Chains A and B, each alone.
Chain A
Amino acid sequence: MNWANLWNRLRGMPRSLDTDLDDELAFHAEMKQRELEHQGMTAAEAERAARRSLGNLTLSREQSREAWHFVWLTDLWRDLQYGARTLRANPGFTVAATLALALGIGLNGILFTVYNAMALTPWAIRDAGNVAQITVEDVPGRWRGFSWPEYNYLREHTRSMDSIVAVDGAGFRIRFGDQSWNASTVIASDNFFQGAGTGFAAGRGFSPSAADPLNPAPEVVLHYDTWQNRFGGAPDTVGQWLEVNGQPLQVVGIAAEGFSGPTATVPQLWIPAPWRDKLNPGSDFYTSGDSCCAQLFGHLRPGATRAESQAELSTLSAQYRQSQQRKTGRLQLSHPTLLANPGMKFPVSQIFLLLSLASGLILALASANVANLQLARARTRRREIAVRLSLGAARGRILRQLFAESLLLASLAGLITLALCHTVPNAILAWMELSQERLTVQFAADWRVAGFLIAMSFLAALLFGLAPALSAVRDAASGGRTTSGGGRLRTVFLVAQVAVCATVLGGSALLVRAMQQSRQIDPGFRWESAIVVSPNLTSNNLTDDQAREITNALRDRLLKLPGVEDIAGATLIPLGNSFSATDAAGPGGKNKVIAYFTKVSTNALRVLAIPIVAGRDFDRTDETRSDVVIVNEALAAQLLPGQDAIGKVIEAAGKRQIVGVARNNSIRELSPLPQMNFYVPSRGDRATNLIVRHTGAATPFLSEIPKISRTLDSRVLATAIPLEQNLRRARRSAEIAATLAGALSILALVLACVGIYGVAAYNVAQRTREIGVRVALGARPGEIVGMVLRQNLRGVAIGGAAGIAGALAFDQLLHSMLYGLSPTDPWAILSAVAILAGMALLAAWPNAQRAASVAPASALRHD
């Protein structure tokens, strides 16, 4: 049936179809009658003959009507209504089944939503269907972008692409008025905005002279959100001058709202590519053929195919590289999505494959559980089905009706899932706060996700609905005398499922405990009432001496603030995600190891309250010495096993004598593993940060310190953050892992409960007659309950035991990965077992109750 046809039906279907037809037929009969009278019949004869010639009026009318109606559609509607009534009448079953299915479908759906956003949704740029990303495989398996000179060569010579655009990421220090911040920036070719095809909220894109390598136009374009957040959406922003790494650049445009370009994270602003070198003196990204990783994309010219363009660009790239005596690579065009880039595709697809296998398995598990529930219900509905069959309903009709019910259940779960897909991925992302940078991908339930969910729901309905429906009809048709031999299989299935559930539950309980442990890790330094001040001098092209002068002046100024107790200098910010590492070796170069090191002022260990366990702390006289070092316990034990470390000369950023041993701590990262650290004295350099120990609240200092630093020296764009913030962030990852593990175990638990309930319900339904006989023979309700529970919990016990073994094996694995964990926590496993047993009891209980309330008479009636 096509759409025009459907339209005709809807348009033409008259409300008064029957009267219209009756009118027509009556007219016809009348005319016929006249005709016959004309031929000489009597009126009565003619009328009879006319009626006869029209034949069966009712049939004719029925057939005429059938042309208009969709019989199957009304049937389906009736089936769905009937299904909805049945589901409403069994709220317990409906809730359990919907929940299990929503979990199974939801997991797959959320995974697909993420995949859809990353791999299927093209970048939000002009005419994305004709856009190709260009990447090159320099070394087998390593896909990269291009150097800027090669990019310029390709762009100049290509005939198959409209214009090739290049972008790369960078971070710059921005200053505007009395604001100053680090901005993630995209450096772009001058044609970027034409290529991306965005409009502007104000102003324009780059001018062609922005590509001039020597004298690029001093232009920046702001992201709409930056304009809103940093400039308050001021209408006169275009035309303002910013300081970018100390250089003045003018805002020439503000990109249209929502435009973020083809990069994975949302940039704050765009800067013409040649500026990258100008803003980082000494670097030669724009001119060096050795530079790398400009991300290229372009629009195919009308008529050019991807294959042609790829061939052309490969030739051009080879030409260029030969002229530069460089190795040629394999060039490839890919679609404009995040994951289409071959460098990303393989590893990420592997992860997705693995995850989708796992979530597919969970959906299968959920479907099997619901199938069990359906089977149990089918046993009790056998009489209803048998009656309907004997009343003449076709088997296909009943099958269809049972299936409509399954479809309804699956659709319900699918609808819930649709809402989940729209909200959960974004919520998880926001909650994880994985990075300060926002991702450009939007996880939304679009038409692809909706289509996927419909397909999944249908598939689930087939999985859990078809087999029970078939067996129900077969069962009823044979009068219920066939015993479906699935009983043993069902028990095996239950045992396996409980085993898996117990493993997941026990494993995640262990994981949660382990994460709690690492949450409670004492970082080993005093993090309260401390502020890290970063002068951010590395980007200013200052010498170490100049930087030291500035930093010392800042330190002296801050020391005068009321409430500041002491200030130390250190190159490493505690838990600040940055570090320096170097080789360290014991006397004679033995026991070599990589260790983290920090250049500190001589009071740093006191300010951070890192205890010295042997020897001494640095003092003022050490400041200029380059031959002393303080190691931590872990490094001492590694370099000088079983010896007294004090006074020994080791290799640690030069030959140095150990003057002290410090307590182990988690300056580098929060982890139960001991980290090897050493500290060397320093007077300060460009990389030095100040650690301010204060009293009272941190907030006034946080706003005061950047202002003070700017009045001191306009080149200082200091940031101040409380040390506590770093610790909170470090603890966050442990929280995330524990919460995800917890969520996973709840999921497993729910599924297992539905499974246990389903099997128990089936068992009771099957034994109704037997139970009735027992009750008639005088069995007390308690005995019946015990009998049913025993039968069902035996499987749970076997599965649970296997699961505990699995959890213990997982525990071994966990310990081998994270040594430093405390020994196996019996409480974690015990609590998992208790929870599982409790839930199993809970799941089997309603069925046991139902069994106990079986009336003896029903045993006689039960067929």
Chain B
Amino acid sequence: MTPTELLPGTLDLLILKTLTRGPLHGYGIALYLNQVSEQVLQVGEGSLYPALQRLMVNGWTVGEWGQSETGRRVRFYKLTPAGRKRLKEEEQGFDRMVNAIQVVLRAV
């Protein structure tokens, strides 16, 4: 299967969801999304980091510096309570949208 472009606006949702498993660094997030979606969802690194910054600005995640497996200084992103709330909202919004799209697809 060839990698699919992400639906616009879903990257935040996917990152937040990923972080519910625990703190992860940027590379870890990209790797996880890639594996879990069975290589379908290819996250462009170019858009990943701006998105991570955006989530921090909004207070949905916080960054903590730690050591990577290779000994480099690396930032681990952690979900905040506000982030969990946001995730719930985004999930519901996404469900609604998907349902709506399916209704339209079936109707025609």
- Chain B proximity of A455: nearest CB distance (Å): 32
B57: A residues at CB distance < 8 A: 5, 8-9, 12, 67-68
Q: Is A21 in the interface zone, CB < 8 Å from B?
A: yes
Q: Is B94 in the interface zone, CB < 8 Å from A?
A: no
B37: A residues at CB distance < 8 A: none
Q: Is B2 in the interface zone, CB < 8 Å from A?
A: no
CA distance A66 to B49 in the complex (A): 12
Given that A53-B45, A54-B45, A55-B45 are contacting pairs, would A23 and B53 also be in contact in the complex, using a CB cutoff of 8 Å? no
Q: Is B68 in the interface zone, CB < 8 Å from A?
A: yes
Q: When the two chains form their complex, are residues B72 and A23 in contact, meaning their CB atoms are under 8 A apart?
A: yes
Q: When the two chains form their complex, are residues A67 and B46 in contact, meaning their CB atoms are under 8 A apart?
A: no
Query: Which A residue's beta carbon lies closest to that of B73?
Result: A23
Q: When the two chains form their complex, are residues B74 and A24 in contact, meaning their CB atoms are under 8 A apart?
A: yes
CA distance A66 to B54 in the complex (A): 9
Query: Which B residue's beta carbon lies closest to that of A19?
Result: B73
* Majority DSSP secondary structure for residues of A touching B: helix
Q: Is A20 in the interface zone, CB < 8 Å from B?
A: yes
Q: When the two chains form their complex, are residues B27 and A60 in contact, meaning their CB atoms are under 8 A apart?
A: no
A32: B residues at CB distance < 8 A: 27, 45
* Contact pick for B26, options A24, A55, A63, CB 8 Å: A24
Q: Tally A residues with Cβ within 8 Å of B.
A: 28
Query: Which A residue's beta carbon lies closest to that of B70?
Result: A30
Given that A12-B57, A30-B70, A31-B27 are contacting pairs, would A24 and B44 also be in contact in the complex, using a CB cutoff of 8 Å? no
Q: Is B102 in the interface zone, CB < 8 Å from A?
A: no
Given that A8-B58, A27-B25, A30-B72 are contacting pairs, would A55 and B44 also be in contact in the complex, using a CB cutoff of 8 Å? yes
- Chain B proximity of A345: nearest CB distance (Å): 49
- Chain A proximity of B67: nearest CB distance (Å): 11
Q: When the two chains form their complex, are residues B56 and A27 in contact, meaning their CB atoms are under 8 A apart?
A: no
Q: When the two chains form their complex, are residues B75 and A28 in contact, meaning their CB atoms are under 8 A apart?
A: no
CA distance A64 to B45 in the complex (A): 12
Q: When the two chains form their complex, are residues A54 and B46 in contact, meaning their CB atoms are under 8 A apart?
A: yes
B59: A residues at CB distance < 8 A: 4-5, 8
Query: Which B residue's beta carbon lies closest to that of A9?
Result: B57
CA distance A53 to B57 in the complex (A): 25
Q: When the two chains form their complex, are residues A27 and B49 in contact, meaning their CB atoms are under 8 A apart?
A: no
- Chain A proximity of B62: nearest CB distance (Å): 8
Residues 48-83 of B at the A interface (beta carbon under 8 Å): 49-50, 52-54, 56-59, 63, 68, 70, 72-75
CA distance A66 to B26 in the complex (A): 18
CA distance A60 to B54 in the complex (A): 13
Contact with B along A138-174 (1 / 0, CB 8 A): 0000000000000000000000000000000000000
CA distance A159 to B108 in the complex (A): 67
Q: When the two chains form their complex, are residues A64 and B46 in contact, meaning their CB atoms are under 8 A apart?
A: no
Q: Is A264 in the interface zone, CB < 8 Å from B?
A: no
B30: A residues at CB distance < 8 A: 28
Contact with B along A1-34 (1 / 0, CB 8 A): 0001100110010000000110111111011100
Q: When the two chains form their complex, are residues A28 and B45 in contact, meaning their CB atoms are under 8 A apart?
A: yes
Contact with A along B26-48 (1 / 0, CB 8 A): 11001000000000000011100
A71: B residues at CB distance < 8 A: none
* Contact pick for A60, options B49, B70, B72, B75, CB 8 Å: B49
CA distance A250 to B104 in the complex (A): 88
Q: Is A56 in the interface zone, CB < 8 Å from B?
A: yes
Interface centre among A4, A8, A25, A66 (most CB of B within 10 A): A8
CA distance A8 to B59 in the complex (A): 6
Q: When the two chains form their complex, are residues A64 and B50 in contact, meaning their CB atoms are under 8 A apart?
A: yes
CA distance A32 to B26 in the complex (A): 11
A834: B residues at CB distance < 8 A: none
A25: B residues at CB distance < 8 A: 49
CA distance A64 to B47 in the complex (A): 9
Instruction: Apart from A24-B25, A60-B50, A68-B57, list 15 A-B contacts with CB within 8 A.
Output: A5-B59, A8-B57, A23-B72, A24-B26, A27-B26, A27-B74, A28-B26, A32-B27, A55-B46, A56-B46, A63-B50, A64-B50, A65-B53, A66-B50, A67-B50
Closest 7 CB pairs of A and B: A55-B46, A63-B50, A67-B53, A64-B53, A8-B59, A31-B27, A54-B45
A to B CB contacts below 8 Å, 22 in the list: A5-B57, A5-B58, A8-B57, A12-B63, A20-B75, A23-B72, A24-B74, A26-B72, A27-B72, A27-B74, A54-B46, A55-B44, A56-B46, A60-B46, A60-B50, A63-B50, A64-B49, A64-B50, A64-B52, A66-B50, A67-B53, A67-B57
* A residues apposed to B, CB below 8 Å: 4-5, 8-9, 12, 20-21, 23-28, 30-32, 53-56, 59-60, 63-68
